[in-house]
C-alpha cells in the first residue's frame, strides 16, 4: 500500500480524488488541510509521496525536509510549478510531476467571463437589482466587437482565449518569446502589444523573465483606458503600479483571478479577519476591479482531469514507468 500525503485539501479536491482512487486500490490518500511548507512537511512522515498545489511552498527548505523522510516524489496537482525549487529537486534525485493541461477552456472561459462582467458591470448590476435599484447610471460599457485584444502567452490557454475573442469579432494580437511557427496568430513585439491593445490578457507562466511583465513602465506605454486581465500568476503584475494606473485612470479596469501575495489569503475564508495587505484592500475597494480567488480552473471537467492525471503520474512513479509529466531543471 502506497501512502500519499495530500496538502491544502479542499472539499472539492477530496470529492474528485476519492472518486479517482477507486481505480487505485493499492494507494491510500491522507488528506491535510494545511498548506505544505517547511513547517508542515513533518505531516508527510511515513508517506511515500506528496500531492501539492499552487500556494504550497516547495522551496529547498521544504524539499530537504521531505527528502529527509525518504520522500522523493512530488506530484503537483496543477500546471504551474513556480513554487517548486526544481534545481534543488533535480540535484537531490527528487521527481516533480505536474498536470500540464486539465482544461484550458476552464481558464480561458473564466477570463472572458471576467472581461464581460467588468466591462458591462454585471457585478454592480447584480447588487443593485437585489436592492431594487433599477438605475443604469454608471453601468455603461463598450462593445468588444472591433476592439484589439493583446494576448501575452500563446500556449494552450492563450490560444483558447484567442478563439473565444475571435468569436466576439475582436482583433487579436499576441506576444510570445516562443511563437508558434506557421500559425495564423498575429504576433507583435511586447511594446507593440502594449501600444495597440484595448484589452491585455496574461496567459504566460511566471518565470524570472515574466515577473512584473506588467510594471509602471509597461503601463505608461499602454493605451489610455486599457483593460487588464490576469488569470495566470499574480507576480506577472507589479500590484503597486497597477493601483497607480487605476487611480490615475490610465487603466480603465482590471480583472484578477490571481494576486502577487495571494498565498496566505486566497482559497480561505478571511471574513472575520482584518486584511493586512493594503494593496489588496485598495484593489478590492475599487468598483472597476474584479477579483476572484484563483478560481479560473474550477470546473468539474478540470477537477476530474486533475485527479486522473495526478494519480497516473503517481502510478508511473511507483511502477517505474517513464514519467511523462515530469518537470525537469
Ligand atoms: P502553456 O505552457 O501551454 O503556455 C504558456 C505560453 O507562455 C507558452 O507559449 C510560452 O512560450 C509562453 N511564455 C513563456 N514565457 C513567456 C513570456 N515571458 N512572455 C510571454 N509568453 C511567455 O501554459 P497554459 O496551460 O496555457 O497556462 C498558462 C498559465 O496559466 C500557466 O503558466 C499558469 O500560470 C496559468 N494557469 C492559471 C490557472 C488558474 O486557475 N488561474 C489554471 C491553470 C493555469
Contact 147, 198 (CB under 8 A): yes
Mean per-residue pLDDT over the chain, rounded: 97
| Position 37 pLDDT exceeds 90 | yes
Grid cell of 121 as nine digits:
458591470
Please tell me the pTM assigned to this model: 0.93
* Parallel, antiparallel or unpaired: strands 27-31 and 49-52: unpaired
Residue for grid cell 487505485: 24
Catalytic-residue membership of 233: yes
pLDDT band at 50 (very low <50, low <70, confident <90, very high): very high
Contact 290, 96 (CB under 8 A): no
User: 226: which strand partners?
Assistant: 251
- For the chain, what percent of residues have pLDDT higher than 70? 100
Dihedral sign from CA coordinates of 286, 106, 163, 216? positive
Length of the chain: 329
What are 282-310's pLDDT values in tens digits?
A: 999 999 999 999 999 999 999 999 999 99
| Position 274 pLDDT exceeds 90 | yes
Pocket test residue of 83, 84, 157 for ligand 1, highest count of atoms within 8 A of CB:
157
Q: Which of 95, 110, 203, 294 is catalytic?
A: 294
Contact 243, 204 (CB under 8 A): no
Q: Where are the alpha helices (DSSP H) in the chain?
A: 11-21, 60-68, 86-91, 104-120, 122-130, 156-167, 190-196, 216-221, 239-247, 278-285, 300-319
Measured distance CA(213)–CA(237) in Å, rounded: 6
What are 150-179's pLDDT values in tens digits?
A: 999 999 999 999 999 999 999 999 999 999
For the segment 228-257, the average pLDDT, to the nearest whole number, is: 98
For the segment 264-276, the average pLDDT, to the nearest whole number, is: 91
| Position 80 pLDDT exceeds 90 | no
> Is 259 or 268 the better-scoring residue by pLDDT?
259
Q: Which of 34, 59, 49 is nearest to 3 (CA)?
A: 49
Grid cell of 82 as nine digits:
513556480
Atom of ligand 1 nearest to the CA of 178: 11
Per-residue pLDDT, 268:
87
DSSP per position, 60-110: HHHHHHHHHTT--EEEESSS--TTB-HHHHHHTT-EEE--S-S-HHHHHHH
| Position 262 pLDDT exceeds 90 | no
Per-residue pLDDT, 277:
95
Helix (H, G, I), strand (E, B) or coil at 50: strand
104-105-106 Cα angle (round to 5) = 90
| Position 53 pLDDT exceeds 90 | yes
64-54-194 Cα angle (round to 5) = 125
Catalytic-residue membership of 294: yes
| Position 211 pLDDT exceeds 90 | yes
* Parallel, antiparallel or unpaired: strands 73-76 and 289-291: unpaired
Grid cell of 85 as nine digits:
525549487
Catalytic-residue membership of 262: yes
CA-nearest residue, atom 37 of ligand 1 = 232
Per-residue pLDDT, 134:
98
Per-residue pLDDT, 310:
98
Backbone angles phi, psi at 27, to 5 degrees: -120, 135
CA-nearest residue, atom 27 of ligand 1 = 157
Measured distance CA(172)–CA(193) in Å, rounded: 10
Per-residue pLDDT, 267:
87
Contact 47, 304 (CB under 8 A): no
Helix (H, G, I), strand (E, B) or coil at 251: strand
Helix (H, G, I), strand (E, B) or coil at 229: strand
Per-residue pLDDT, 237:
98
Atom of ligand 1 nearest to the CA of 209: 18
**Residues flanking ligand 1, CB < 6 Å:** 79-80, 101, 104, 107, 152-158, 175-178, 203-205, 207, 209-210, 231-233, 257-258, 294, 296-297
- For the chain, what percent of residues have pLDDT higher than 90? 97
Amino acid at each position: 500500500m502506497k501512502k500519499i500525503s495530500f496538502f491544502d485539501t479542499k472539499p472539492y479536491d477530496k470529492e474528485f480524488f476519492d472518486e479517482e482512487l477507486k481505480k487505485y486500490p493499492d494507494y491510500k490518500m491522507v488528506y491535510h488541510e494545511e498548506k505544505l511548507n517547511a513547517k508542515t512537511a513533518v505531516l508527510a512522515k511515513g508517506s511515500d509521496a506528496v500531492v501539492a498545489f499552487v500556494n504550497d511552498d516547495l522551496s529547498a527548505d521544504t524539499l530537504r525536509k521531505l527528502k529527509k523522510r525518504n520522500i522523493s516524489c512530488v506530484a503537483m496537482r496543477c500546471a504551474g510549478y513556480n513554487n517548486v525549487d526544481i534545481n534543488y529537486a533535480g540535484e537531490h534525485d527528487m521527481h516533480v510531476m505536474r498536470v500540464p493541461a486539465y482544461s484550458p477552456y476552464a481558464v480561458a472561459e473564466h477570463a472572458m467571463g471576467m472581461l464581460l462582467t467588468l466591462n458591462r458591470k454585471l457585478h454592480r448590476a447584480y447588487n443593485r437589482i437585489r436592492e431594487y435599484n433599477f438605475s443604469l447610471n454608471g453601468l455603461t460599457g463598450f462593445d468588444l466587437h472591433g476592439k484589439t485584444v493583446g494576448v501575452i502567452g500563446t500556449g494552450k490557454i492563450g490560444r483558447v482565449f484567442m478563439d473565444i475573442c475571435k468569436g466576439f469579432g475582436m482583433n487579436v494580437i499576441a506576444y510570445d518569446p516562443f511563437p508558434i511557427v506557421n500559425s495564423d496568430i498575429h504576433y507583435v513585439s511586447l511594446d507593440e502589444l502594449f501600444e495597440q491593445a484595448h484589452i491585455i490578457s496574461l496567459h504566460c507562466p511566471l518565470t524570472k523573465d515574466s515577473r512584473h511583465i506588467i510594471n509602471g513602465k509597461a503601463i505608461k506605454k499602454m493605451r489610455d483606458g486599457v483593460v487588464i486581465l490576469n488569470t495566470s500568476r499574480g507576480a506577472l503584475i507589479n500590484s503597486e503600479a497597477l493601483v497607480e494606473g487605476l487611480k490615475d485612470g490610465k487603466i480603465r479596469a482590471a480583472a484578477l483571478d490571481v494576486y502577487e501575495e495571494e498565498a496566505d489569503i486566497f482559497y480561505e475564508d478571511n471574513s472575520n479577519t482584518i486584511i493586512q495587505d493594503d494593496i489588496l484592500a485598495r484593489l478590492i475597494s475599487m468598483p472597476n476591479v474584479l477579483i476572484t480567488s484563483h478560481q479560473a480552473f474550477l470546473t468539474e471537467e478540470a477537477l476530474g482531469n486533475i485527479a486522473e492525471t495526478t494519480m497516473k503520474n503517481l502510478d508511473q512513479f511507483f511502477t517505474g514507468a517513464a514519467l511523462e509529466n515530469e518537470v525537469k531543471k
